[in-house]
Each structure stands twice: as structure tokens, then as C-alpha cells.
């Protein structure tokens, strides 16, 4: 029997979007109403600190690896976590405070 060729729709093209494009905001200025948290992070080899920090911010708030039906119900800009400051931990190798 002949084989059928299947083509993926452009709307569903596989790919990975860097977290830092949405969740790394070094220009962000905190507000009195913000909830602040600091994380000690050791990025995987080859992962830039900005991407590691943004991934923590995303996965600690509104980020997920897939599209969910609630994505359009809330304001991402209002509720998303943000990585806005990164500094090395004194005396530690490859350990960052975000």
C-alpha cells in the first residue's frame, strides 16, 4: 500500500523559546507590592546565567513547557516571575544568587 506523507502545520512547529526572552528583565524596578524571593542556582554547563535565572522565575510562576487553556485568562506581564538581578555567591564556584 502507498505511504501517505504527513506535513506539520506551521502553527505547531516544534521548537524551544528561551525563557530569558520573557522572564529575564534586568531593567525591572521592584514595587512595594512585589513578593521577592532569592534563589541559589548552579546553572548546567553551557547554560548562561540569564537563562538559568529566567527558567527559575518562569517555573516558579506562570511558565510551563506546554500551552495550557488558562494562558489567555490572566495578564502574563502582571503575574509572571522575573529574574532581574544576578550576582555570584562569594567564595563559591559557579554558584549564583538570583
Domain that holds residue 89: 13-97
Query: Is 41 in contact with 95 (CB distance < 8 Å)?
Result: yes
Q: What is the pLDDT of residue 68?
A: 66
Helix (H, G, I), strand (E, B) or coil at 41: strand
Torsion angles phi and psi, residue 78, rounded to 5: -80, -40
> For the segment 53-75, what is each residue's pLDDT rounded down to a tens digit?
999 998 888 776 666 666 666 67
Sign of CA dihedral 41, 53, 78, 25: positive
Count of structural domains, the chain: 1
- pTM, rounded to two decimals: 0.72
Strand order of the β-sheet with 40-41 is 40-41, 96-97, 87-88
Whether 8 maps to a domain, the answer reads: no
Whether 67 maps to a domain, the answer reads: yes
Domain harbouring 88, CATH code = 3.30.70.150
Amino acid at each position: 500500500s502507498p505511504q501517505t506523507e504527513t506535513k506539520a502545520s506551521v502553527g505547531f512547529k516544534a521548537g524551544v523559546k528561551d525563557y530569558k526572552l520573557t522572564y529575564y528583565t534586568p531593567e525591572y524596578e521592584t514595587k512595594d507590592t512585589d513578593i521577592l524571593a532569592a534563589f541559589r542556582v548552579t546553572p548546567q554547563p553551557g547554560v548562561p546565567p540569564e537563562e538559568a535565572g529566567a527558567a527559575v522565575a518562569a517555573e516558579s510562576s506562570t511558565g510551563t513547557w506546554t500551552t495550557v487553556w488558562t494562558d489567555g485568562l490572566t495578564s502574563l506581564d502582571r503575574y509572571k516571575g522575573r529574574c532581574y538581578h544576578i550576582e555570584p555567591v562569594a567564595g563559591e564556584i559557579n554558584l549564583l544568587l538570583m
